[in-house]
Amino acid sequence: MKIRIATRRSPLALIQTRYIAARLQAEQPDLECELLKMSTIGDRRQDVSLSQIGGKGLFVSELEQAVLDGRADLAVHSMKDLPAELAAGLSVSCIPEREDPRDALVTMDGARLDDLEAGCRIGTNSLRRTVQLRRQRGDVEYAMLRGSVNTRLEKLEGGQYRAIVLACAGLRRLELFDRPLWPIPVTLSVPAVGQGALAVESRDGDDATNALLAKIEHAETRACVGGERAFLAALGGDCHTPLGGHARLEDSGSRLRFEGVVGGVTGDQLVRVALERYTRDAELAQLAVELGEEAAQQLLAEGAAELIREASERAAERDPRARPS
């Protein structure tokens, strides 16, 4: 059996895709995997922030089209890049076990956020990260930083930034987690929806491929990510809104915790929620969805709806073509 896997060309995307290929080959040793390496709009436009050109879904659409038209059998994405609505005819057939979902403050000396000097420059392209970190350190500059992980690290090492913020998952997968960094607690920076997880998309009705993908599925990760995406859907937020949502099991799987946050685009407003439920006698996937939706409703009641509306209006002012992703 041979499968063709659509992937972005970035070093991290290739590592993630090769990881999926290796997992599948471990399940079926005679499997041949061919990588279809693609450059997406999100990869090509490095001069502006993602929110200005349509959001993280720009990393996904070309890969989806390759699967739909038969050039590839499946596509591997970072789950946090996946838009709320998938292309018709495709499904996320597999979500393997999640990597570390936290953000990381990366410096040359291992400094924590509180250790940084007032007025220093922190590089990040994430409104979600900026709004949350500014609540603790409003006396530093948050500057746009795009490019591959290695490109961002080179800018840090070149002195353009005192610190940069990256995802722990990417650093671990690239074997760069041993450099000076501080994993930022979820209580300080709630991760993006789906952060640390991978999503494997395939065609509906491709029974052979989907049966193989089912062998590397991780039910707990799918349940938690499902709760996070239900949270996002219930909020009605888009790529222009700084928001985060994270579900995780605690106490040996007996308790599900959900944390959610929505910020204002100006950085001066933030609403946050944390909920917990015991999982005994409860179906985890359904419980995660219910908890995510409850978290969204609480945030909407506390002002998140206005923050989301303002973010969309500001995006439309910058570009009338701006639309939710």
Query: What is the DSSP pairing of strand 74-78 with strand 2-8?
Result: parallel
CATH number, domain 1-96+198-217, options 3.40.190.10, 3.40.640.10, 3.40.190.170, 3.40.718.10: 3.40.190.10
% of the chain at pLDDT higher than 70: 91
The two domains 1-96+198-217 and 103-184 share their CATH topology (first three levels equal): yes
Query: What is the DSSP pairing of strand 90-94 with strand 163-167?
Result: unpaired
Fold for 219-325, please state it: Double Stranded RNA Binding Domain (3.30.160)
User: What pLDDT does residue 199 have?
Assistant: 98
Whether residue 43 has pLDDT greater than 80:
no
CA distances from 86 to 63, 65, 116, 127 (A): 12, 11, 41, 24
More confident call, 248 vs 324? 248
CA distance 294 to 298: 6
Give the residues across from 271 on adjacent strands.
Answer: 262
Whether residue 317 has pLDDT greater than 80:
no
> DSSP letter string over 246-259?
EEEEETTTTEEEEE
Please report which helix (H) or strand (E) contains residue 166, including its range.
Answer: strand 163-167
Whether residue 318 has pLDDT greater than 80:
no
Question: 302: which residues sit within 8 A by CB, 6+ positions away?
Answer: 271, 273
* Domain map (residue ranges) of the chain: 1-96+198-217, 103-184, 219-325
Do 81 and 169 meet the contact criterion of CB atoms below 8 Å apart?
no
More confident call, 59 vs 293? 293
Q: How confident is the model at residue 70 (pLDDT cuts 50, 70, 90)?
A: very high
User: What pLDDT does residue 84 have?
Assistant: 80
Residues 287-306: pLDDT tens digits? 999 999 999 999 999 999 99
81 in catalytic set: yes
Q: Provide the whole-model pTM.
A: 0.90
Whether residue 51 has pLDDT greater than 50:
no
**CA diameter of the chain:** 58
Phi first, then psi: give them for residue 112, nearest 5 degrees.
-90, 170
Which region among 36-45, 251-260, 271-280 has the lowest average model confidence (pLDDT)? 36-45
Domain 103-184 bears CATH identifier 3.40.190.10: yes
Do 161 and 143 meet the contact criterion of CB atoms below 8 Å apart?
yes
Do 256 and 220 meet the contact criterion of CB atoms below 8 Å apart?
no
CA distance 225 to 95: 9
Residues 124-176: pLDDT tens digits? 989 999 999 999 999 999 999 988 899 999 999 999 999 999 999 999 999 99
Whether residue 57 has pLDDT greater than 60:
no
Q: Which residue has the tokens 């953000």?
A: 103
User: What pLDDT does residue 319 have?
Assistant: 59
Q: How confident is the model at residue 88 (pLDDT cuts 50, 70, 90)?
A: very high
User: What pLDDT does residue 41 have?
Assistant: 63
Which tokens in the block code for residue 268? 């001066």
User: What pLDDT does residue 315 have?
Assistant: 77
Which tokens in the block code for residue 211? 């049966």
DSSP state of 241: S
CA distance 103 to 312: 25
Name the active-site residue from 81, 103, 206, 238. 81
Whether residue 48 has pLDDT greater than 70:
no
CA distance 179 to 211: 39
Give the residues across from 156 on adjacent strands.
Answer: none
Which tokens in the block code for residue 184? 């930022």
Residues 180-219: pLDDT tens digits? 999 999 999 999 999 999 999 999 999 999 999 999 999 9
